[in-house]
Structure 1
């Protein structure tokens, strides 16, 4: 067994090492999909996949981390702890459920403390049918001139314009305009891309391979950056289908103690989004009954999160930035998505563990 705090890591390289060592200690094989670029410290990058359970299992639980790179500091800790958790592994094994751990969906962002991929794409806005016209985010078009000013921190004029927008239209409108996803500004934030990213293509390959034999698939995708600090919001992650929503709520709502929210009915802290990653499961595993959630852990207030994303994107556009200022921006970015305290980490593990037990119970109904 590993301690809760010890399951987390201060860098992608250390997180990957802990994950691979945990898998090896559990006697599990490791499937590594090498990323074409290197990490912040020159380390190799990969989407690492570990399956705990037989290849022909009919019930499959996917637990994935780092869809939004920097959020992997949290998600990796959950996965490492789970691989060391004998009680959890026995629970899944005895129920006939195989668990598929996908570590670092976006390893580049994880290592470089970015939300976005090396293509500057928000992976969770990249799952579109690119043969068709892409959605247009007119609200983003309106705020784009405000998001990335020439100087950082923003000057008084920019701050006043942002404050006026929020005062006039509301904080939720500001969040929605920015975060919904957009395909018009490649150097902007929350860019959904114009073609599938490396992570998109690689994930689809993993799903096809490991989901082929499953008749029931559950997916818990680990995220941070929305909601009260340490609180894990279970956000329904699937098509707008009443039966599937009801099934997710039956599995994960804990009799009302841990409610499942939805972007479809406005109950989630998340805005309505497009190009979401979970759509891939319907494409790659159409034979399986799918039920999923995003586990969204709170860190700091949403405006602070948005400002951290803006600052980090500004840094990408200004590589001439002095090292001390760049380090400050990266530290701000990490703090927006990862609260480095023992209490927060304990909250993360306990809620993730609960949701995983709930998923196994749901899969075996």
Structure 2
């Protein structure tokens, strides 16, 4: 089989058309790998009436001293990409053999946000962004006055927005700059439950499930690497390696030794991502307190930031207007899907190649000497 033909076959069997298909493929591949499987269901149903669950596959745990976590669909609709990366790993005999020889277990967490994956939404069933939800809700929550100023503009009375609304948004960007707009919109906010990037008022069921998985299936390992797959930011097809750990110089240095000097650090201003708090990966510090942890979000670019935000604006409007005509609702859902998943072989091939490299680098890092 030629290289282009092999790539096309790999793309076709890894990138699924729906959450239901992705889940079926994940469970089948995990079973073929003789993984230890666990499933954590949600009470709500999926877009096709299907059961929703976060499925967890642990591969090669016996005798392993380290574990690599690969997670998908923290932001539901981004699961088309993340699930494909997980499936590609489970059918990659060479990577599986390298992990086994290195004494590294694999912990694959499929569809952290299954609701969003199924319903083509970035948020969960309560419009909560799981990557802003890991907060101490007993204390003061981060303020985001910039978002409060924008909220009414972001969610207009009618969709699509009229020219006056678009002019007002453009004027805000002109006054505050592109980075000011990015931060106000996407850092996370805790005051407008119907708005964008809402972090919630309490820890979600999905976040509590993740914490349980980490405590019961990762905490026993001395070394933990974690790649959380995302989409939506950056140049088309480029996988930005975003440091996802604490504000700790040693952790940043280790991540760069593993994945390269181009690992971006949001709190240093070197990432396309805003410097957020309450991100999901931070749960590992309490759940796995004795391990050495090296964390990275692998973010694949799709569309320009303003287009991505417009897609989220449309989705937020649709949640408020379930009576919307079916044609309009369908168009909004398609726009969301296109903003976070590029159904094109070239983009998909770029994703699988960069994902494989990041996994290989993590395996080498986990198998190497302590530093």
TM-score (norm 1): 0.97
Unaligned stretches of 5+ in structure 1?
Answer: none
**CA shift for structure 1 position 55:** 4.8
What count of residue pairs does the alignment treat as equivalent?
Answer: 361
Q: 1:122 aligns with which of 100, 104, 129?
A: 129
2:224 alignment partner in structure 1: 217
> Retained in 2: the 8 A contact 1:56–1:213?
no
Deviates more, 1:335-344 or 1:51-60: 51-60
1:291 has 2:294 as partner: yes
2:281 alignment partner in structure 1: 278
1:13 has 2:20 as partner: yes
Cα distance in 2 for partners of 1:51, 1:176 equals 37
> Retained in 2: the 8 A contact 1:5–1:346?
no
Cα distance in 2 for partners of 1:167, 1:280 equals 37
**CA shift for structure 1 position 35:** 1.1
**Alpha-carbon displacement from aligned partner over 1:85-138 (angstroms, at most 9, x marks no partner):** 100100111000001000000000000000001121000000001111111111
Q: 1:305 aligns with which of 305, 308, 311?
A: 308
Mapping 1:188-199, distance limit 5 Å: 188-199=195-206
**CA shift for structure 1 position 364:** 1.5
Cα distance in 2 for partners of 1:223, 1:205 equals 22
Local SS of the residue matching 2:246: coil
Cα distance in 2 for partners of 1:55, 1:196 equals 32
Q: Provide the alpha-carbon RMSD of the alignment.
A: 1.1
2:215 alignment partner in structure 1: 208
1:62 has 2:69 as partner: yes
Local SS of the residue matching 1:117: coil
Cα distance in 2 for partners of 1:270, 1:323 equals 33
Local SS of the residue matching 1:90: helix
**CA shift for structure 1 position 56:** 5.3
1:329 alignment partner in structure 2: 332
Cα distance in 2 for partners of 1:135, 1:261 equals 23
1:99 has 2:102 as partner: no
**Alpha-carbon displacement from aligned partner over 1:8-40 (angstroms, at most 9, x marks no partner):** 111000011111111112222321111111000
1:170 has 2:173 as partner: no
1:349 has 2:356 as partner: no
Cα distance in 2 for partners of 1:3, 1:145 equals 44
Unaligned stretches of 5+ in structure 2?
Answer: 1-5
Cα distance in 2 for partners of 1:50, 1:162 equals 44
- Runs ≥4 residues deviating over 4 A: none
1:316 has 2:323 as partner: no
Cα distance in 2 for partners of 1:192, 1:234 equals 23
Deviates more, 1:319-328 or 1:169-178: 169-178
Cα distance in 2 for partners of 1:26, 1:178 equals 42
**CA shift for structure 1 position 5:** 2.7
2:3 alignment partner in structure 1: none
> Retained in 1: the 8 A contact 2:37–2:57?
yes
Cα distance in 2 for partners of 1:28, 1:98 equals 10
Deviates more, 1:298-307 or 1:50-59: 50-59
Cα distance in 2 for partners of 1:106, 1:179 equals 18
Q: 1:142 aligns with which of 149, 169, 178?
A: 149
Q: 1:361 aligns with which of 357, 360, 364?
A: 364
